[in-house]
Amino acid sequence: MIELFQMGGMLFMSILTIELSMVLFFTVKAFSNKEGYAGKIKSTGLLAAITGILGQLIGLFSAFEAIQQIGAVSPAILAGGLKVSMITTIYGVIIYMIAILLSLIIKMRK
């Protein structure tokens, strides 16, 4: 897990982890009968998904820039780079799924 965190890039993976913490914080607040936190949970989850996609796009841009400078690159190296670039997107989408599920649970409780 720590290896995936480092491979995904410390900046975006840290931001995504903070967003996950915010989702969990808003969930705790919502379970303590505070109003209006279900929307904040979903919004923060969506922000995490968008952050993950942004991390992937920046990673792909950097990779393609390096490929352009080097020239010919083997398909295996290209596939490995594409796989690594998807880590932030996967993490962001997982956070979004968690946020959607938690907001549904909160809405069902009411």
Could you list the residue range(s) of the whole structural domain that residue 88 is in?
A: 10-29+37-107
Task: Give pLDDT, residue 35.
Answer: 78
Residue 79 in any domain: the answer is yes
* 43-78 per-residue burial string, b: 16 or more CB within 10 A, e: under 16: ebbbbbbebbeebbeebeeebeeeeeeeeeeeeeee
Instruction: Express each pLDDT in 76-92 by its tens digit.
Output: 888 888 888 899 999 99
Q: Tell me the pTM.
A: 0.89
Backbone angles phi, psi at 73, to 5 degrees: -130, 140
Q: Which two tokens mark 35?
A: 């109003």
> In the chain, how many domains are there?
1
Residue 56 in any domain: the answer is yes
Confidence grade of residue 6 (pLDDT, cut at 50, 70, 90): confident
Residue 2 in any domain: the answer is no
Residue 3 in any domain: the answer is no
Residue 4 in any domain: the answer is no
